[in-house]
Amino acid sequence: MIRNGKIAEPVSDVTLTGNVFQTLKDIDAISNDTLYVSGGCGKGGQMPLAVSVGGPHVRIKDVVVGGR
């Protein structure tokens, strides 16, 4: 969470709602701290199917964030 221009608490377990193409257009800042983590998929006996997750932090204007 960015509050008053400063990094505040982390946001996790969230859902971004809306039109994905508009959300991509609304990205107005991308950091240079890209991080990818590799692992394996265990769904349906597919282990060790290689997967990864990650990317840079992004700032999105006018986005609806939901979750717990």
pLDDT tens-digit readout, 15-55 = 777 888 998 999 999 999 898 888 888 777 777 788 888 88
pLDDT value at 67 more than 70: no
Residue 68: is its pLDDT beyond 70? Answer: no
CA distances from 65 to 7, 23, 35 (A): 17, 11, 22
pTM of the model: 0.57
**pLDDT of 13 strictly over 90:** no
10 prior amide bond cis, ω within 30? no
